[in-house]
């Protein structure tokens, strides 16, 4: 901060001590106003941050829910095809065993 000039009409009318006190008062007021604005901005930023994080959490929960549903559907499809394969294998093995038994009886 640049020092305030202590010349001119204000110095002539008020005198050196009054001008110095006025300068200190204005600096204090400026500092307090800056702190108030910074605190207000910080509170606003924190509130916005909380809102955005909450929104992100909701979106992530929805996304994970969709992924879980897709995984469940995929598991069901896999189980269904595995079951069909096992049944096919059972029929093939039963057919081979049946052929072996019938050829052994002849």
The tokens for 96 are 């081979």
What distance in Å separates the CA atoms of residue 44 and residue 53, rounded to the nearest whole number?
14
pTM exceeding 0.75: no
Between the alpha carbon of residue 15 and those of residues 2, 4, 10, 18, 76, the distances in Å are 21, 14, 8, 6, 91
Which tens digit of pLDDT belongs to each residue from 46-86?
999 999 999 999 999 998 999 999 999 999 999 999 999 99
Please tell me the distance from the alpha carbon of residue 87 to that of residue 74, in angstroms, as a whole number.
20
- 7 is written with which tokens? 């010349």
- Residue that wins the pLDDT comparison between 3 and 62: 62
At 106 the pLDDT is: 77
Indicate the Cα dihedral angle 10, 13, 18, 23, nearest 10°: -10
| Interacting residues of 16 by C-beta distance below 8 A, sequence separation 6+ | 6
Question: Which residue is listed with tokens 């896999």?
Answer: 78
């Amino acid at each position: 901060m640049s020092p305030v000039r202590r010349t001119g009409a204000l110095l002539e009318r008020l005198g050196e001590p009054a001008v110095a006190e006025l300068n200190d008062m204005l600096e204090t007021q400026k500092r307090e106003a800056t702190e108030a604005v910074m605190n207000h901005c910080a509170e606003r930023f924190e509130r916005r941050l909380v809102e955005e994080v909450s929104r992100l959490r909701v979106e992530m929960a929805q996304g994970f829910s969709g992924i879980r549903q897709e995984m469940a559907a995929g598991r069901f499809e896999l189980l269904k095809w595995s079951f069909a394969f096992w049944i096919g294998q059972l029929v093939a093995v039963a057919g081979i065993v049946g052929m072996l038994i019938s050829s052994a009886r002849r």
